[in-house]
Amino acid sequence: MNLIPEIVIGKKYLWRGAVQERVCPGCGYIPGSNSVGQQMVVTVVSVPAYIRCFKCGARRYDIEGYYSCIPQNSRGQYQGIPYTQLEEIEEVTNA
């Protein structure tokens, strides 16, 4: 049994914003602190090489479990989102 879900590149997921268990070493910002309770549909586009702090722009390379996602209502702006905040969307089929 695998407890870590398989995230598929190109698939849409529901992102539920939450505080992340890390702090930016550059400015002390806690990622996710501004997105608690938010949710939106995102498309996973890749596994990132790094993510940037939203506040100071510092790069982080210790990002195992993160995915580059584009929010559905975005102008193509990528966000680094941990897999723990991505939920599969149940596809509705017309019967």
pLDDT score recorded for residue 34: 84
| DSSP designation for 83 | G
Judged on CB neighbours under 10 Å (0-12, 13-18, 19+), 31 is buried
| Close Cβ partners of 10 (under 8 Å, ≥ 6 residues apart) | 43, 44, 45
Average pLDDT for the chain: 86
Q: pLDDT digit string (tens) for 39-69?
A: 999 999 999 888 888 889 999 888 888 999 9
User: Which tokens is 75 given?
Assistant: 């102008």
Nearest to 16 by CA among 35, 44, 30, 29: 35
- Residue 56 CA to residue 7 CA, distance in Å, equals 28
pLDDT class of 93 with cuts at 50, 70, 90: low
pLDDT class of 94 with cuts at 50, 70, 90: low
Q: Is the pTM of this model over 0.85?
A: no
pLDDT class of 14 with cuts at 50, 70, 90: very high
Q: Where are the domains of the chain?
A: 12-86
